[in-house]
Amino acid sequence: MLAAQGIFVLTATFAVYHCLASYLSTWQDVPLALAVGALFLLSVVRNERVRPSMLKIGADGLSAWNQAGDLLMQGRIAGCAHWSDRLLVLVLKPDHGVLRTLLLPADALAMSAFRKLAVLGRRAVGA
């Protein structure tokens, strides 16, 4: 996935360069294209930092942790959407603060964990 994001950043940077090339000179459009590329690259880095790598399913809710061991989100399941065993969207409601959304593709988890989360989500919303 990281390679696909890198290709996206390069493609978007070149697209900005080619769009600006007809209006600006090379010395003006290269810095703008590089700025857009840097912005996209920062977005990729931020996405990698906040991507959960470990889930802990508890009796009172769910917690998501990143690779560094930092707690990303925690709370009880307040909402659920389940699309044909491919994607599970859980809404977590913490004790304080705003609702957080957790997207879980089926291939990111073991099938038993995916089904367990789907059942917990459906029970939480009363379905």
Q: Topology of 54-125 in CATH? A: PH-domain like (2.30.29)
pLDDT of residue 14: 94
- pLDDT means per 10 residues, the chain with 127 residues, are 90 92 84 93 88 83 87 88 86 88 87 88 78
pLDDT of residue 127: 54
C-alpha distances out from residue 121 to 34, 91, 116, Å: 43, 9, 9
Q: Quick check: helix, strand or coil at residue 35? A: helix
pLDDT for residue 67: 84
| Domain boundaries, given as residue ranges, for the chain | 2-50, 54-125
Considering the entire predicted model, what is its pTM? 0.67
> For residue 38, what pLDDT is reported?
96
CB atoms within 10 A of CB 64: 21
